[in-house]
Structures are given as C-alpha cells and as structure tokens.
Amino acid sequence: MSKPDWSSQIDALLPDLVAIRHDIHRHPELGFEEHRTQAKVRAWLEEHGYTPKVSAETGLVADLASDKPGEAIAFRADLDCLPMQEHTALPYRSVHDGRAHKCGHDGHTTILMGVAAVLAKNAGALTRPVRLIFQPAEEGVRGGGARVMVQEGAVDRVAEIYGLHNWPGYPKGHVRVKPGALMAQVHSFDLTVRGVGGHGSQPQLCVDPIVASAHLVTALQTVVSRSIAYDDQAVVSVGAIHAGKADNIIPDVATLRGTIRTFDPAVTARVLERFDAVVQGVAATFGVTIETEMITGYPVLMNDPECAELVREVAGQVVGSEHVSADDLPMAGGEDFAYFCEATRGAYFFLGAKRGEEKTPVCHHPDFDFDDDLIGLGMRMFLGIAERRAM
C-alpha cells in the first residue's frame, strides 16, 4: 500500500483548524473546568466517526481501529489554560478575565483534533489500534490530569505514547528531543518563619523574621552551588516572600514560597536533605521557628530511548535533520506527561516557535500566542510517528 499523502490532507483541514484554535483561545478554561473545550473536541471526534469516552472529568479518550491486534500507540494533547490575564489585542483574545491560553494548549489540542480527522480518513491502513488522549489540567504541580487519566486506565493496553509542546525559545521549524531525562522533577515549598514582632524602633526586643528570611534566601542558594556536583543539575528558587505591612512595625511572621527542580532521584534526595539542613541552621542562628511544607509535584519526564529516536528520525524527514537536535535539553520546567511515561514507554518533544531574531513572547508571558503555522508541523510529526508505528 502506498504511503498516505499527509500534506494535501492537512492543507485541506487547516482553515477549519485555525478557526477552531482561535475559538478555543477565545474561551479558555482552567484545569478540570474544560467543559466547553471538551464538548467542542467531542463534537469533532464524533463527526469523524469516533466514540470518545470521558476521563478525568473533563478529558476524553478516543480509540481508532480498536479491533486491530496488538497494543495501541497513543498521542496526547492538553486542554487547559493558565490563570493569568491576556494582554494582546488579538481579535480572538480571551473573553474571560484572569484566564488565558498563554502556554499554547489551544494549539496542542487543535493539532490532535487534526490528527484525529486525518487518521479516521485513513483508518483502513492501520495495523494496530491508535488512542487519542485529550487531557485536562496539565498546569500546576499539585496534581495534574495525566495522573488521574493513568489511574482511570487511559494508557491501559497502550504500548507507547507521544506528546509535544510548542517552545518559542527554539527557532521556528526546529524540533528538539533527547532520550532520558527531558524535563524536571518538581517540588514546591512553603516556608513560614515565626519570630517576635514589635516596634521598628526597638529591634532588640524583637525576633525579626524578615532578617531571618533574607538570610534564608541567600543560604538556600548554597544548596546547589556548594552541595551538588558541577555535572549534576538542580535549581532552587524562591519566588515569593511576604512580611509586614508598615514601615515601623517588625512583624511576627514572614512567608516564603519557591520551587526545586531536579533530574535524578539521588540528586533530589541530596537537595532535599541540604534544604532541610539550611532551614534548620537559619532557624537556630536567628532564634526563629521555620515551618516547612514541601509539595511533591510532577516526576522527571523520562523519554524512552527507542521512542525518542523514532521522534528524531521522523523529525528529520519532516523538517530536515539539520533542524533536529537535543540542544538546551533537559529543561527545568515540569510536565505531567511524565505520569504517562511512568506508566508506559513514550517520548515528548518540542516544536520551535521563535520567529527569526525577534523577541517572540515565551510561554506563560501575557503577550504569548500560539503560532498557527505549528498546527501543520505538529500534525506531520504525529502522523509521521503513526505511519512508522501503526501502518
């Protein structure tokens, strides 16, 4: 059987897909609240002959050629937006204050919808089942939708799974992928520093939590710089500090919040050990008490070597081998696709979106917008993988 002509089929769908992407962008929904998005995806899938099943409340799982022998190959897209304001003047800008698609999940969803339509048209060529996973609630380290979907059986009888993400930090039209650790293990921490408050003119009568917090921020930087080997990788960042409301009052409490990113269990254990020692040392030095809440987030996203190699080979055919690399990987961001890769083998990769020399707004920036040119590229990548694995 001759290979399908993906390009003509993709080109025929692109006008509709761009319109869909803009509509999803205009109506963003937060994690586990993606009811409108779910309904839109469901209607599209049913129009193309699928019988999607609900998973993780607002997610969907759709199978194609389920009567074929063997385990399925799966593809995943994320549905949710970010809790932030849109600053663009786009005609399809968010209609909801405090909600916006500033990570490109609207584009990822549209890519997989397009793949669904093309694969349905070519279902007769499939030699094994294909599963499409539309996942809610990727954003946020306190528990993503991928974990829920795994628990509900979304990757049962799935042999391998693939996912993608646009990335404006990489040149447009480039693909980045590597085997092994691709994205970080994520921990978030909340520190409550308790001292004794009083008048700002009498610090000798107080136990100042602000001074202790300032030293704590500095001391925590040594967790990586003086406790981790040069060839290991870790990040410890304090992202928020709050204390007091007046210039002449020393408060009794200060709070700090931050994140830890690591790529290896042994390094994670060392970082957490040293983090706790630094916190205890600062507390003893300044006579404060420090309460620590450590929230374990997404695990390390580990690409299966064979699956990553397949992505590299397909990307070479799609964009040219000179535009495929592992440069700037692994990345210290977190991604709950890691739960899928714990449950079965798989690979995750990035589509570059940086336009020339301009400062293309990055993901999570209020001016970010997914580049519609990536819809066709993402489809070609997924369809190329499907062709190699399921046709």
pLDDT digits (tens, 9 = 90+) for 314-326: 999 999 999 999 9
Cis upstream peptide for 305 (omega within 30°): no
Residue 221 pLDDT > 60: yes
pLDDT score, position 5: 87
Domain limits, CATH 3.40.630.10, in the chain? 6-183+300-390
Angle between helices 35-47 and 105-121 (to 10 degrees): 20
Average pLDDT value over all residues in the chain: 96
Domain limits, CATH 3.30.70.360, in the chain? 185-296
CA end-to-end span of the chain:
9
Average pLDDT over residues 222-235: 92
pLDDT digits (tens, 9 = 90+) for 160-205: 999 999 999 999 999 999 999 999 999 999 999 999 999 999 999 9
Select from 139, 138, 129 the least CA-distant residue to 71: 129
- What distance in Å separates the CA atoms of residue 371 and residue 228, rounded to the nearest whole number? 38
Which run of H or E residues covers position 222? Answer: helix 222-225
- What distance in Å separates the CA atoms of residue 102 and residue 138, rounded to the nearest whole number? 13
Banded pLDDT at 3 (limits 50, 70, 90): confident
- E strands, the chain, are 53-55, 59-64, 72-78, 130-135, 158-171, 175-176, 180-183, 185-194, 198-199, 234-243, 249-250, 253-262, 289-296, 301-303, 324-325, 345-354
* Residue type (1 letter), 43: A
Q: What are phi and psi of 81, to 5 degrees?
A: -105, -175
pLDDT score, position 4: 81
pLDDT digits (tens, 9 = 90+) for 134-166: 999 999 755 589 999 999 999 999 999 999 999
Q: Which CATH architecture has domain 185-296?
A: 2-Layer Sandwich (3.30)
pLDDT digits (tens, 9 = 90+) for 67-94: 999 999 999 999 999 999 999 999 999 9
CATH of region 6-183+300-390: 3.40.630.10
pLDDT score, position 142: 52
Phi-psi region of 150 (alpha: psi -120 to 50; beta: other; left: phi over 0): alpha
pLDDT score, position 143: 58
pLDDT score, position 140: 73
DSSP, res 61 = E
Determine what percent of the chain is predicted with pLDDT higher than 70: 99
pLDDT score, position 124: 95
pLDDT score, position 374: 98
pLDDT digits (tens, 9 = 90+) for 355-388: 998 899 999 999 999 999 999 999 999 999 999 9
Contacts of 319 (CB under 8 A, 6+ apart): 173, 174, 175, 377
> How far from the centroid of its chain's Cα atoms is residue 314's Cα?
22
